[in-house]
Structure 1
Amino acid sequence: MSSGLQQFDRLGAGLGQPLAPDERGALPQVAGPEKVRQAMLTILDTDPGERLMRPAFGCGLRRWLMAPNNATTRTQITREIEQALARWEPRITVQAVDVAATNDPSTVLIEIHYAHVLDARQDVLVYPFYLAT
């Protein structure tokens, strides 16, 4: 097996998100960096207490719904994300989390700059978060 395939395997493989069958009825499969990215999204989208067998899992971003879009809220969101990813995603090292206001006062744009632990490859995950529904 080539070195590149070994790295892909070590990053993980499995069912993709969203979990919906394609036109042939097959469930989506993902591997490598895309699997890591989807795992990060799962962490961000999950609140602690949602998972019965792992009640501490998740980031808890929903607690910031209806919070004011100010520097204090954005700093707290940054800290929550850094802590959750450090705890739940061992395949990456978070380098920076930027939570920025947008033209829409009910939205912040989250940029997570990270490196894959396996090969130090750098990547960015952009995640819009809506403070108001």
Structure 2
Amino acid sequence: MSKPFLGVGVGFPISLDTKGDFQIAEYEESVRQSIVIILGTAKGERAMRPDFGCSIYDLVFEPNSPATAGKVSQAIQEALLFFEPRIDVIDVRVQSPIPEQMLVNIDYQVRATNNVFNLVYPFYLEGSAG
């Protein structure tokens, strides 16, 4: 089913398909990749858009605690509200399976289709590489 209103763009990470063309991300996959790009970009990282991104990277050296989990959840909700207008965030839950990692479960609804999706985003604390 064609959903051009959700957008089409070069896939992330950039790669080539079997014909040598850029891999394309369409529709809901385009939305998912946009969320990953927003969350993977620290505020101030883009020279021409210093406001773009998510402030979770200000929390890298915070302790793995319920307070930090709340700050991570809030930062993600704010970033998605400002930079991904195609979705409504339903819920953001943070789990800590190991001391240096938080798993962020994001439930979101694509506004144009009302389809609900879930994305699990790993966030590493204390500067660990994971």
Q: Does TM-score exceed 0.5, indicating one fold?
A: yes
- Over the aligned positions, Cα root-mean-square deviation in angstroms equals 1.3
How far 1:78 sits from its partner (Å)? 0.4
How far 1:119 sits from its partner (Å)? 1.5
Please say if 1:122 is aligned against 2:120: no
Letter in 2 for 1:20: S
Q: Following the alignment from structure 1 to structure 2, what is the Cα–Cα distance between the partners of residues 26 and 116?
A: 28
Query: Residue 29 of structure 2 aligns to a residue in which SS?
Result: helix
Equivalences for residues 1-133 of structure 1 within 5 A? 4-5=1-2, 8-22=3-17, 24-102=19-97, 104-132=98-126, 133=128
How far 1:81 sits from its partner (Å)? 0.4
What TM-score comes out, normalization by structure 1 length? 0.90
How far 1:53 sits from its partner (Å)? 2.1
How far 1:60 sits from its partner (Å)? 2.2
Query: What is the count of residue pairs matched by the alignment?
Result: 127
What TM-score comes out, normalization by structure 2 length? 0.91
Q: Following the alignment from structure 2 to structure 1, what is the Cα–Cα distance between the partners of residues 69 and 47?
A: 29
Q: Following the alignment from structure 1 to structure 2, what is the Cα–Cα distance between the partners of residues 14 and 22?
A: 14
How far 1:52 sits from its partner (Å)? 2.0
Q: Following the alignment from structure 1 to structure 2, what is the Cα–Cα distance between the partners of residues 31 and 20?
A: 14
How far 1:61 sits from its partner (Å)? 2.0
More divergent stretch after superposition (85-94 vs 63-72): 63-72
Q: Following the alignment from structure 2 to structure 1, what is the Cα–Cα distance between the partners of residues 60 and 52?
A: 19
Of all paired residues, the percent bearing the same amino acid is 37
